[in-house]
């Protein structure tokens, strides 16, 4: 399993958001991985273990809503988070869900 996963739910339609492009970048803005949510709204990104640091997930929400024929206030959603690594070199799996509607979104640290 990838060290980082995401799950995008379209809360207006009550369904997984299929086909949302997602990019993982490091603190310097360098792209580390890209992906697209599957039929269940899920995507796995990045290496088996992310080094300690700050990362950003960028979700192409505008393109998703355009494909649905829906206007949106948020053409992209960016979520920045921190990965910490223990002294023994381990770090837990990181899951970053996105609850999405055309005019609002929320996220949380999942499991």
Contact 23, 34 (CB under 8 A): yes
- Backbone phi, then psi, for 40, in 5-degree steps? -100, 10
Which of these ranges, 6-10, 49-53, 54-58, 96-100, has the smallest mean pLDDT?
Answer: 49-53
Half-sphere exposure of 36 (CA within 13 A, CB side): 6
Q: 44-76 pLDDT, tens per residue?
A: 998 888 899 999 999 999 999 999 999 999 999
What structural domains and CATH numbers belong to the chain? 4-107 (2.60.40.180)
CA dist., res. 50 & res. 29, Å (int): 15
């Amino acid at each position: 399993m990838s060290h980082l996963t995401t799950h995008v739910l379209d809360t207006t339609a009550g369904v997984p958001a299929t086909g949302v492009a997602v990019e993982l970048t490091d603190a310097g803005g360098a792209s580390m991985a890209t992906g697209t949510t599957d039929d269940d709204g899920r995507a796995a990104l990045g290496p088996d273990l992310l080094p300690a640091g700050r990362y950003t997930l960028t979700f192409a929400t505008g393109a998703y809503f355009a494909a649905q024929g829906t206007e949106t206030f948020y053409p992209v959603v960016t979520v920045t988070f921190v990965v910490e690594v223990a002294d023994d070199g381990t770090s837990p799996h990181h899951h970053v869900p996105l609850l999405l509607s055309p005019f609002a979104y929320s996220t949380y640290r999942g499991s």
